[in-house]
Amino acid sequence: MESEDRRWVVSWIGLVVVVAVASWVLLLRPWHRSGGSTGELTAVVGFVGALLTAIVALVGMTVTRQSDRRLSQERDQSERRLEQEHRDEHGRLKLDAAMRAGALFSSPTGEPVDPASVASSLLALTKLDNADLAVTLLVDFWSKAAERVSTEAAILVIDAALRSRQQPNAQLVAAEILCRQASRLDSCQSLHWPSVIDGSWDPDFGPKTKLLLVEALINMTLAGVVNENSLRSVAVRLYGIWHGDPDKRIQGCVGKLISALTEKLAGLGYTDFIQGNQKVMLDDLLAAADSATENPDGFLDRLVEDRYEKLMAWAAQCTSNALDLNIGSLATAG
């Protein structure tokens, strides 16, 4: 029994003793001196007995309450201990799996590792909550000088890192890599752009992550062919950023970029653009363009102005018959 429980019991026992003594002094002793009747004695004894019974019952209830509380505390401690052991075991299993995945990056014979093995290892790391490690390794594995992983696999790793909300550093590194390699991507290929930001946006991205992703989208677009497919693609993706971010400064910058495309978009001859399971109307794009504002940061405003001019010059090259009809082009309509 805990010390607090013992104190409660001792206190109640002391109260019983005090009541018994007080009953003797105040009731039984005066009655004995005055030679009271047997009926009066019976009443006094009955009263004292009932009082003592009630006190004993209270003592029992108190002890039961203290015992239940102690058992509850022990049960909670046991559950917390089991949960901690489960987390520790889960962590050990994840670490072991991550080490096994890492072992696949090198060959025991010194031969070059198969790209499929590298890709599967990187993706395995993202599934083991090691997206930050996966994208850091991707810096070396996905380079122009020595490409050891396909573009499609690299985009999947970047997509997983951008989805890892608990690892903001992984998101930043992923955005940095995407921006570096943007000129190698095809804006009309869905496998060349992370699905998490394809027509949608996460407003909880850090400021640098947001700017890097916008920069990557612009660089990818400017490096690619100029046709109706790529024009639709960049417009819908920019609108997804504008619509998904409540920050007025972000909306002002992105609205400025969208305004570089609106003249050509209006000349396409239709007013609706598919964005996932939604329709983006031409009026929506025009409204986004109207929100263009100068950024209080003069340096950033100059950079946005530069991208705006380049994007406008790029869009101006798109002609009415510039349409890609090759295999896979149908996906740019949805």
The tally of domains found in the chain comes to: 1
In a domain, 288, yes or no: yes
68 within a domain of the structure (yes/no) = no
The tokens for 56 are 């004993």
Which of 92-106, 259-273, 313-327 has the weakest average pLDDT?
Answer: 92-106
Q: Output the pLDDT for position 39.
A: 55
In a domain, 95, yes or no: no
Other Cβ atoms within 10 Å of 225 Cβ, number: 14
Mean pLDDT on 292-313: 85
Q: What are the beta bridge partners of residue 279?
A: 274
- Residue 146 pLDDT level (bands cut at 50, 70, 90): confident
Average pLDDT over residues 239-258: 92
**Better pLDDT: 63 or 273:** 273
Q: Which two tokens stand for residue 135?
A: 């994208």
Checking if the pLDDT of 165 tops 80, the result is: yes
How many Å from the N-terminal Cα to the C-terminal Cα in the chain? Answer: 70
Encode pLDDT of 71-95 as tens digits.
888 888 878 887 877 766 655 655 5
Does a structural domain hold residue 137? no
pTM: 0.68
- Res 8: pLDDT: 59
What is the structure's pLDDT at 160?
Answer: 93
How far is it, in rounded angstroms, from Cα 251 to Cα 244? 9
On the question of pLDDT at 261 being above 80, the answer is yes
Q: Is 272 left (phi over 0), alpha (psi -120 to 50) or beta?
A: beta
If one counts every other C-beta atom within 10 angstroms of the C-beta of residue 119, the result is 21
User: Which one has a higher pLDDT value, 21 or 161?
Assistant: 161
Range of the domain at 217: 181-334
For residue 237, tell me if it sits in a domain: yes
Alpha-carbon span 25 to 40, nearest angstrom: 16
DSSP 146: S
Q: What is the pLDDT of residue 258?
A: 94
> So what's the pLDDT on residue 117?
77
CB 243 within 8 A of CB 276: no
Is the residue at 303 inside a domain? Answer: yes
Provide the residue type at 44 as one letter: V
pLDDT of 7 strictly over 80: no
Residues 77 and 70: their CA atoms lie apart, in Å, by 11
Q: Is 206 helix (H, G, I), strand (E, B) or coil?
A: coil
HEC secondary structure over 41-108: HHHHHHHHHHHHHHHHHHHHHHHHHHHHHHHHHHHHHHHHHHHHHHHHHHHHHHHHHHHHHHHCCCCC
Average pLDDT over residues 214-223: 95
In a domain, 173, yes or no: no
Share of the chain above pLDDT 70, in %: 68
């930001």: which residue's tokens? 197
> 98-102, 129-133, 315-319: which has the minimum mean pLDDT?
98-102
Q: Which of 26-30, 43-47, 159-163 has the lowest mean pLDDT?
A: 26-30
Span 235-239, mean pLDDT? Answer: 91
What is the sign of the dihedral through the CA atoms of 222, 233, 297 and 207? negative
Q: What is the mean pLDDT of residues 291-310?
A: 84
Q: Among 190, 163, 186, which Cα is nearest to 174's?
A: 163
Per the domain annotation, does 81 fall within a domain? Answer: no
